[in-house]
A and B are shown apart, each in its own frame.
Chain A
Amino acid sequence: MENRLRLLRAERNWSQQDLGQRLEVSRQSINAIETGKYDPSLPLAFRIAELFDLPIEEIFVSPSRRSSGAI
């Protein structure tokens, strides 16, 4: 799933390791999410959203909205 995680992380000067530690997941998990190879579960997506203090849809691009051209 397309997302802005890398951008949000870069804005804070966090490495993938830093973000992983804050979310209590591995660096590899962060890498897989950032590259769109893995879609996080809803609980993890909420943790990410809460960490950045943003709504989920401002971090993750809805695949259905993206395909309909709404975003």
Chain B
Amino acid sequence: MIRTPAWKRYNWRVAWTSLVYVVFLLGAVYGFKHQLVPGALRYLVAVLPALPVIGIFVAIGRYLVEEQDEYVRMLMVRQTLWASGIALSLATVWGFLENFEVVGHIDAYYVAILWFAGLGIGGLINKLTLGDGGC
């Protein structure tokens, strides 16, 4: 990607939220493994690792709002469309396969992982279809 000021802010936000994700995930795993989380607090602690992941989605949204270079912004929009299409399509297919007991269960948060993989695929497609301009 092109290192615009908005892109640098986006990278900074993603780096921070990723760090928070690791801390929250390790904390939650430790807490549950050692049965340190009582009662209703389990809901809160279980959700903690999801919050920084949501934070990354917010960072992408902020980037799209803040990016001043319209062409670069368009590239990211294309990437997010590819990501959404890939993640939702595969989740739908897997849902039916699972529903008819053809395959086993997969945790729903894998949709987010698929989405991030789709973002990478979208970037590759930008490069292949737009050449140098696809960054």
Task: Point out residues on A near B: beta carbons under 8 Å.
Answer: 24-26, 28-29, 31-33, 35, 37-38, 40-41, 44
B101 at interface (Cβ–Cβ under 8 A)?
Answer: no
Can you report 14 residue pairs joining A to B where beta carbons are below 8 Å apart? Answer: A26-B4, A26-B69, A28-B132, A28-B135, A29-B71, A29-B72, A32-B71, A32-B130, A32-B133, A33-B71, A35-B133, A37-B133, A38-B71, A38-B133
Are the CB atoms of A29 and B69 closer together than 8 Å? yes
CB B66 to nearest CB in A, in angstroms, measures 14
Are the CB atoms of B68 and A44 closer together than 8 Å? no
7 closest residue pairs by CB, A with B: A32-B133, A29-B71, A26-B2, A28-B133, A31-B133, A25-B69, A26-B69
Are the CB atoms of A31 and B132 closer together than 8 Å? yes
Cα distance A33–B130 in the bound complex, in angstroms: 11
B22 at interface (Cβ–Cβ under 8 A)?
Answer: no
Nearest to A33 among chain B residues (CB) is: B71
CB A70 to nearest CB in B, in angstroms, measures 28
CB B124 to nearest CB in A, in angstroms, measures 16
Are the CB atoms of B132 and A29 closer together than 8 Å? no
Nearest to A25 among chain B residues (CB) is: B69
Cα distance A25–B74 in the bound complex, in angstroms: 13
Contacts of B132 in A (CB 8 A): 28, 31
Nearest to B72 among chain A residues (CB) is: A26
Are the CB atoms of B71 and A25 closer together than 8 Å? yes
B70 at interface (Cβ–Cβ under 8 A)?
Answer: yes
Q: How does the 8 Å CB contact mask read for B122-135 relative to A, with 1 for contact and 0 for none?
A: 00000000111101
Contacts of A32 in B (CB 8 A): 71, 130, 133
Cα distance A28–B4 in the bound complex, in angstroms: 12
CB A18 to nearest CB in B, in angstroms, measures 16
Cα distance A44–B68 in the bound complex, in angstroms: 11
